[in-house]
């Protein structure tokens, strides 16, 4: 049985029809979110994937052509377009918490789940995945460490529930998260 660290902070018992996943790159937001949506019978969306679909190019290309700021503007528009939608699980990009303008869009009528992961596991996953232009440099570990340092207080300030995704399959983690949220009367 994998050990799992699930913690609920505040808003216990407040029912929500929107789950928003936030957290560092390669911490399992998309895979866990997809399984969670299936368990709930809700829609699932991943803002990075929608940005790629609507722009017709991948995220690395957007960063190359428009810089990080161009990508952040697209991310903001995508979050705004999703605002007000219910019965939906939304996986966000790791930097979606950076723009203060995004915070009301993330928080509104949502239960926010923060996915955290050990650095080793994160690196292992990040190596297999494309579309992380911030890691396209000689020292991805340093980038992951630095982004965590600068972002962690924002993540924890926004999160209602935190799940450690280091151990366990995405499906197992989604089931545990679903049980936990149901038990705490969030769902
Ligand atoms: C980013 C994370 C990525 C993607 C983009 C920028 C970040 O999403 O949005 O490469 O700033 O942390 P994931 O968190 O899904 O990797």
Residue 94 is classified by DSSP as T
What percent of the chain has pLDDT above 70?
92
pLDDT tens profile 88-98 = 999 999 999 99
* 70: pLDDT strictly greater than 50: yes
C-alpha–C-alpha distance, residues 57 and 62, integer Å: 7
How much is the pLDDT for 2? 37
Atom of ligand 1 nearest to the CA of 68: 6
Atom of ligand 1 nearest to the CA of 95: 11
* Single pTM value for the model: 0.93
| Whether 22 contacts 111, CB under 8 Å | no
Residue 132 is classified by DSSP as -
Ligand 1 centre from 95 Cα, in Å? 6
* 104: pLDDT strictly greater than 90: yes
Q: What is the mean pLDDT of residues 36-65?
A: 96
Is 4-186 in CATH node 3.40.50.300? Answer: yes
pLDDT tens profile 146-181 = 999 999 999 999 999 999 999 999 999 999 999 999
Give the mean pLDDT of the chain.
91
Name the residue ranges covered by the structural domains of the chain: 4-186
Ligand 1 centre from 183 Cα, in Å? 31
Q: What is the mean pLDDT of residues 44-49?
A: 97
Q: Is 8 exposed, middle or buried (0-12, 13-18, 19+ CB in 10 A)?
A: middle
């Amino acid at each position: 049985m994998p050990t799992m660290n699930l913690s609920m902070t505040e808003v216990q018992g407040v029912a929500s029809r929107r789950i928003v996943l936030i957290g560092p790159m390669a911490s399992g937001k998309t895979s866990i979110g997809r399984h969670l949506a299936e368990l709930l019978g809700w829609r699932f969306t991943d803002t990075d994937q929608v940005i790629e679909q609507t722009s017709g190019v991948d995220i690395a290309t957007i960063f190359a052509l428009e810089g990080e700021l161009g990508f952040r503007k697209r991310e903001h528009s995508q979050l705004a377009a999703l605002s007000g939608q219910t019965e939906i699980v939304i996986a966000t990009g790791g930097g979606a918490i950076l723009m203060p303008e995004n915070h009301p869009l993330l928080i509104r009528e949502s239960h926010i789940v923060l996915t955290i992961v050990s650095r080793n596991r994160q690196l292992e996953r990040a190596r297999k995945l494309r579309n992380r232009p911030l890691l396209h440099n000689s020292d991805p570990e340093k980038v992951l460490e630095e982004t965590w340092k600068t972002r962690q207080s924002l993540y924890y300030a926004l999160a209602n529930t935190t799940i450690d995704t280091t151990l366990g399959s995405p499906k197992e983690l989604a089931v545990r998260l679903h049980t936990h949220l149901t038990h705490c009367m969030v769902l």
